[in-house]
Amino acid sequence: MQIRKHFHFEAAHSLPHHLGKCARMHGHSYRLEVAIGGPIQRDGPARGMVEDFDALETLVGTEVIEALDHRTLNDFIDNPTAEEIVLWIWRRLEPRLPSLEELALWETASACAVLRRGDDR
């Protein structure tokens, strides 16, 4: 089974290799969707769940949102395209969240980058 949780953060960036307006500093209201999978737990504090949504929120909040929210992404991602940002997020989460199956990072309401387990990195 799979569960998903959405997160939001605000961040600024410029795309140094872009030939258009995105080469200038600008910001986005990003929406991150985190999907994890596994069996429904039959005992323990997450009984009846794949994972406790609160535990997922704490982990993503600590590892990702606190690191990215209201930051200039160029300070720690060389070319912070949506694709590079979602890859950076995957590398932060996957060691602590082995059940991670998919990330979708929405840069605007109509544009996102999706990274799934097994995709080339």
- State the catalytic residues: 22, 70, 107
Task: Identify the residue whose tokens are 């720690």.
Answer: 76
